[in-house]
Amino acid sequence: MAKINAIIISCSSDAELDARRLFLWGAGKYAKWLPDSIHEAKKRIIQCRIEHKCACCDAEIHKVEIERTKLTNKQQLR
């Protein structure tokens, strides 16, 4: 099966003390896609800092690998 590599950003948004409830996000202002690279993730964190002005930014970038276990629709038609 396919392995999908993703870049994910996590932060507590200055409000959450419990690490199990961190925000996981990757969306830009008008898009809902995860960043394609670490460089893009860093740009989004900078944009977020400018927009939300959190007192103490604790954003962190994570590289994640997801293994797809289900066939795609086209693979099922073969």
Span 19-44, pLDDT tens digits: 777 787 766 666 668 888 999 999 98
Question: Residue 49 pLDDT more than 70?
Answer: yes
Which of 33, 35, 32 lies closest to 59 in space, CA to CA? 35
* Domain total of the chain: 1
Q: State residue 28's pLDDT score.
A: 61
0.95 cut: is pTM over it?
no
Percentage with pLDDT > 90 across the chain = 24
Mean pLDDT, residues 57-74:
90
Domain that holds residue 66: 3-77
- Per-residue model confidence (pLDDT) at position 27: 62
